[in-house]
């Protein structure tokens, strides 16, 4: 039996610029952090030769092509595993439509566990690249590449996307990383959504008038990087960047927000001008990320207590890893 543990992630700045349609022309830089909420993938050998899969559904088939779960099906085919395997997933959070990179965490976690299952080693870079290949090339998902990278590597990272197609992940070891950790809050909106429709519109708009908004998000992310590197020392920089980036991101797809989300964010940000808030990932539901000095945390929690559930978290230094392996 093998068990992999893969972190979910939050994006602090630059989200939406990690689509190849954009960064292969202009480059991009994203700041992203893995958190200590995880997706677990258990892999075990089946004596009867069947393929047994348990997630929110239960599947038991004799041949791979009968599987309904596209990610698992693609991973099994890619690694040449044809029969006699059981795969079970368990998640610390709602595992679909959370905005915390859940689909990519699953892809990375499955690939990591399956490589161990067949006795092959894989680097974090290779793990991220293979996850991107499955999701973007094979399954044609309208997504970028930050989630796979963040989930595979873990930690608080600067992820650079070059016009040459390279994805470079660099750990940010700075006192402000700890500062950020103590200034961030996560709240569950109480519902998830299908991100694909939102991201399809985002992808379409990259070549249909949306480049300006992504240029602005990129500019703000570079400013965030300067703040992290202590080149800018204004305390309200993170709040301003989160709020401004969210406004530009909403221009890329109508599905990123709704009236209820707008109302919640407005109520939070009205407490103080040094507070920033946005939906994570593709928005439209899932989790709300709030940046605020700790002295306003109680006021924020009181404002949201009746409707939203807080998810307490810390940053996770480790990326996807094998936490149990027996009988291999």
End-to-end CA distance of the chain: give it in Å, rounded: 7
Examine the pLDDT at 192 and tell me if it is beyond 90: no
Q: Is the domain of 181 the same as that of 220? A: yes
Q: What is the pLDDT of residues 67-98, one digit of tens each?
A: 999 999 999 999 999 999 999 999 999 877 78
Confidence tier at 143 by pLDDT (50, 70, 90): very high
Q: Is the domain of 269 the same as that of 133? A: no
Q: Is the domain of 147 the same as that of 247? A: no
Q: In the numeric block, which tokens belong to residue 78? A: 């890619």
User: Of the given ranges (38-42, 205-209, 287-291), which has the lowest mean pLDDT?
Assistant: 205-209
Tally of domains within the chain: 2
61, 50 contact by CB (below 8 A): yes
Q: What is the pLDDT of residues 110-119, one digit of tens each?
A: 999 999 999 9
Q: Is the domain of 126 the same as that of 187? A: no
Confidence (pLDDT) at 14: 96
Q: Is the domain of 25 the same as that of 49? A: yes
H-helix segments, 191-285: 195-206, 211-228, 237-250, 259-269
3-state secondary structure of 181: helix
Q: In the numeric block, which tokens belong to residue 126? A: 């290779």
Q: Is the domain of 69 the same as that of 135? A: yes
Average pLDDT over residues 187-208: 90
Confidence tier at 328 by pLDDT (50, 70, 90): low
Cα 211 from Cα 300, distance rounded (Å): 34
Q: What is the pLDDT of residues 33-54, one digit of tens each?
A: 999 999 999 999 999 999 999 9
Q: Is the domain of 9 the same as that of 154? A: yes
Q: Which residue has the higher pLDDT, 250 or 231?
A: 250
- Domain containing 228 equals 175-310
Q: Is the domain of 150 the same as that of 185? A: no
Cα 194 from Cα 101, distance rounded (Å): 13
Q: In the numeric block, which tokens belong to residue 14? A: 């630059």
Q: Is the domain of 184 the same as that of 49? A: no
What is the distance of C-alpha 238 from the center of its chain?
19
User: Of the given ranges (40-49, 161-170, 223-232), which has the lowest mean pLDDT?
Assistant: 223-232
Cα 241 from Cα 99, distance rounded (Å): 19
Q: Which residue has the higher pLDDT, 172 or 129?
A: 129
CATH number, domain of 274, equals 3.30.70.890
Q: Is the domain of 302 the same as that of 320? A: no
Q: Is the domain of 87 the same as that of 202? A: no
CATH number, domain of 88, equals 3.30.230.10
326, 9 contact by CB (below 8 A): no
- Indicate the average pLDDT of the chain: 94
Confidence (pLDDT) at 272: 94
Q: Is the domain of 227 the same as that of 273? A: yes
Phi, psi values for residue 291, rounded to 5°: -105, 130
Kind and range of the H or E element at 85? strand 85-91
Q: Which residue has the higher pLDDT, 307 or 326?
A: 326
Of 271, 253, 14, nearest to 145 by C-alpha is 14
């Amino acid at each position: 039996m093998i068990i992999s543990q893969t972190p979910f992630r939050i994006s602090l700045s630059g989200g939406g610029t990690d689509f190849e349609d954009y960064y292969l022309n202009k480059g991009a830089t994203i700041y992203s952090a893995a958190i200590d909420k995880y997706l677990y993938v258990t892999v075990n050998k089946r004596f009867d030769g069947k393929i047994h899969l348990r997630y929110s559904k239960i599947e038991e088939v004799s041949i791979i092509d009968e599987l309904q779960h596209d990610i698992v099906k693609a991973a099994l085919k890619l690694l040449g595993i044809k029969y006699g395997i059981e795969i079970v997933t368990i998640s610390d959070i709602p595992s679909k439509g959370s905005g915390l990179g859940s689909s990519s965490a699953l892809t990375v976690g499955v690939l990591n566990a399956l490589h161990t299952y067949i006795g092959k080693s894989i680097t974090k870079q290779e793990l991220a690249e293979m996850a991107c290949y499955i999701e973007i090339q094979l399954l044609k998902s309208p997504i970028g590449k930050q989630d796979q990278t963040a989930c595979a590597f873990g930690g608080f990272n600067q992820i650079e996307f070059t016009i040459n197609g390279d994805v470079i992940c660099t750990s940010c070891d700075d006192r402000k990383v700890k500062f950020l950790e103590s200034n961030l809050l996560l709240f569950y909106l109480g519902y998830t959504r299908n991100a694909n429709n939102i991201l399809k519109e985002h992808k379409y708009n990259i070549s249909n008038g949306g480049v300006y908004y992504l240029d602005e998000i990129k500019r703000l992310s570079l400013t965030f990087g300067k703040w992290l590197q202590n080149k800018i020392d204004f305390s309200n920089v993170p709040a301003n960047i989160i709020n401004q980036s969210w406004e530009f991101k909403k221009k890329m797809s109508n599905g990123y927000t709704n009236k209820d989300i707008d109302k919640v964010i407005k109520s939070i940000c009205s407490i103080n001008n040094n507070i920033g808030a946005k939906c994570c990932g593709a928005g439209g539901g899932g989790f709300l990320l709030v940046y605020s000095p700790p002295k306003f945390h109680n006021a924020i929690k009181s404002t949201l207590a009746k409707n939203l559930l807080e998810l307490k978290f810390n940053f996770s230094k480790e990326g996807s890893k094998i936490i149990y392996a027996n009988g291999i």
